[in-house]
Structure 1
């Protein structure tokens, strides 16, 4: 598969040289944010980890701590996010979403619905290692009902693979019977089918469902479910249809409000910069007739805005 990220490994990479440049940017009077920004957005995450090691070796200091003490605000948050290995970053975002008063369900849904089974397994391991507790236990403690069941199913990272042709019609019928056809909804059916089947299989089920019901599965979910369960099922459906499409929509939402949802904007730009940002950009343009780059430009400012634009990688 062709590489679809916007941030690529830097070709003439020299970790020691980069570490020295960063040290110089932070030493003495005033911080050279420009150097920090240009350098770190132009290195892959793996390279940033090597710079961190070289920095410690050469200067006996923790690069992330030094960056935190020199930078501030959203720019600091973004740079620290870029310095965090991907599984660690996801685990950290989930931990923050759970801990504290109230749960940030949007984060739980976004991460668990969009990551591959392999990524989810890594996140679970990393969460245990770095936070000393089980992610499943923490989610169980903070959620309930069918919504909880769906998150726990996704958390297993055990989605079936491929398409089971013999089950496509059956799944579509069961979903139709569970929603449109009966008084009251059988949420269990929605949860187990949408939580367990592969994206390829689900796309065929959605086509069969549309023929049967005369409307998209999304419409039924909106009509039949509410709250977090509705949001989580819709995220799973959208990710089965197109992960870049799902993120394009999340980015649009994050910037459409009065006041930008910077946490979502930052999390998506960081976590997709080495995954599928090129596809997200193209889909965004197709869905909204506007350039993601321009929308970010209009909605952010300063070094924080500049760094996001580097991660976006270009104007469509």
Structure 2
């Protein structure tokens, strides 16, 4: 009886801790999935190689740290232009031809799936089939007390960096001419073109921006996602797609809601039903698709 009482007390104590940690990592999850939703929003194509771009960002941070002693804070900045340029190259190589094909949606699905397989295969050849972990003190050492539990300061660093990029993206989409043009294309492409917006340049820049933030998410990702290995991109893509669907597909900043809801829900399951956490999470996704196919914000607004 006493043991049961202690168990219930621990469960109650863990509840606020799990919610706060879920909120912190949820901001990162939103950041990690942002690029996928941006690309879909402007191109109307699901980038199945999204997780592989995040994976490459993790490898970039790992090797810059190991061989050149460059901390993640610097790698985080370096990653954006590197992956932005990669996004430009991939856009020019794939998207115009896919857009002009007879079935852009199905052909893009095949093309990005093939790109994902190619990146993964090349990563195996270059990096080997090894697991790598980032040193826990590389980004931010130490710990703080949260509801009586010692919590690594790295969670605060990851949440802060993620929030900064989400805020920058908000201002980019809402306060700049290019961002407003991007929003117009997301909401009604034909009408946007009739107002003189050049869809090619806007989609190119936004597509590349999506790759840039995905690479940045990979830099700080190992502290949340775990070890680095070449095939980790498959799981990340599924995770990002889940988060995007929870928010609203095609509405980039609704990804924030999706990330936070996913983070809290998943963290609670990790605490109370760890063995079933992933299974229940994806069952919940199926429920959302059935009950509200457009996501939490889907059908309410197309504004971002």
TM-score by length of 1: 0.27
Point out the structure with max Rg over C-alpha.
1
Q: Which has the higher contact order (CA 8 A, sep 6+)?
A: 2
